[in-house]
Amino acid sequence: DVKVTQSSRYLVKRTGEKVFLECVQDMDHENMFWYRQDPGLGLRLIYFSYDVKMKEKGDIPEGYSVSREKKERFSLILESASTNQTSMYLCASSGGPPYNEQFFGPGTRLTVL
Amino acid sequence: AQSVSQHNHHVILSEAASLELGCNYSYGGTVNLFWYVQYPGQHLQLLLKYFSGDPLVKGIKGFEAEFIKSKFSFNLRKPSVQWSDTAEYFCAVYDFGNEKLTFGTGTRLTIIP
């Protein structure tokens, strides 16, 4: 079974702090994704990566950056957290072509005070 | 960019009732279609998918969905729901034109025992 793990289930940070969210998958998947999930808005894509060192902006990249130094790990960085980044963050991975099924992690609920 | 509509935001049904959740996407072209489910406290997981072939696809737990290309729709159905189907359901469309997966806003399903 594919396993996607995220470093924290709950995180509380202060405005202006730098925040790192880590995601690791154990199935040698090429593709990794970061979404945020908000009530009434569904899942919105922040960034994705189809290979190591590669990254592409999704639909809402502003205020975020990512890093993919190793195939299994995809990090989401909030350079200076703001209250409007309070959300549930979901990491996902998929193998092969990007249109394949994505496997999701449990999510990190981030609160920015 | 593709947009995905799930018009039912919250559906409440009694056990044994039949279910149909609507999903429409905004324009044609080659697409792959997905339904994901998020049970309370659990991570998002795949319910079923359509890539090609028979437009009526069957998924886990007795769910099925029908792709109607002319209507840009991929509605989810189940003939008799159970209390354990209480969850949030997300439709997603992979558009080969812009090579992106777009999620709908989700439908919360509550089953009353």
- Percent share of chain B, pLDDT over 90: 88
| B2-44 pLDDT, tens digit each | 899 998 999 999 999 999 999 999 987 889 999 999 999 999 9
pLDDT at A96 exceeding the cut of 90:
no
For residues A101-109, average pLDDT: 95
DSSP for B42-81 reads S--EEEEEE-SS-SEEE-GGG-EEEEEGGGTEEEEEESS-
B36 and B92 Cβ atoms separated by less than 8 Å: yes
| CA angle, residues B82, B83, B88, in degrees to nearest 5 | 100
Helix, strand, or coil (residue A85): helix
pLDDT at B97 exceeding the cut of 90:
no
For residues B80-103, average pLDDT: 94
How do beta strands A31-38 and B87-95 pair?
Answer: unpaired
Contacts of B106 in chain A (CB under 8 A): 42
Contacts of B45 in chain A (CB under 8 A): 104
- B84: phi then psi, degrees, rounded to nearest 5: -70, -5
Identify the DSSP state of B60: G
Given this model, what pLDDT does residue B2 score?
86
For residues B76-86, average pLDDT: 97
Sorted by where each starts, the structural domains of chain A and their CATH numbers stand as 4-112 (2.60.40.10)
Q: How many CB atoms lie within 10 A of CB A15?
A: 11
Q: Which of A42, A58, A105 sits opposite B90 (nearest CB)?
A: A42
CB-based contact A99 B45, cutoff 8 Å = no
Cα B5 to Cα A43: distance, rounded to the nearest angstrom: 13
pLDDT at B65 exceeding the cut of 90:
yes
Chain B residue with minimal CA distance to A38? B105
| A15-25 pLDDT, tens digit each | 999 999 999 99
Disruptive mutation site among A2, A89, A99, A102 for chain B (greatest number of B CBs within 10 Å): A99
pLDDT at A53 exceeding the cut of 70:
yes
The mean predicted confidence, pLDDT, of chain A is: 95
Given this model, what pLDDT does residue B80 score?
97
Given this model, what pLDDT does residue B99 score?
85
Given this model, what pLDDT does residue A98 score?
80
What token pair was written down for B41? 């406290």
A105 and A6 Cβ atoms separated by less than 8 Å: yes
Chain A residue with minimal CA distance to B96? A99
Cα B1 to Cα A111: distance, rounded to the nearest angstrom: 30
Given this model, what pLDDT does residue A2 score?
65
CB-based contact A101 B46, cutoff 8 Å = yes
What token pair was written down for A101? 């099924």
CB-based contact A42 B9, cutoff 8 Å = no
Question: Kind and range of the H or E element at A44?
Answer: strand A42-49
Residue B94: closest CA among B67, B62, B70: B67
CB-based contact A105 B103, cutoff 8 Å = no
Sorted by where each starts, the structural domains of chain B and their CATH numbers stand as 4-112 (2.60.40.10)
Cα B88 to Cα B36: distance, rounded to the nearest angstrom: 8
pLDDT at A1 exceeding the cut of 80:
no
Given this model, what pLDDT does residue B29 score?
83
Q: Which of A40, A43, A105 sits opposite B103 (nearest CB)?
A: A43
Q: Does B105 reach chain A within 8 Å, measured CB to CB?
A: yes
Given this model, what pLDDT does residue A99 score?
84
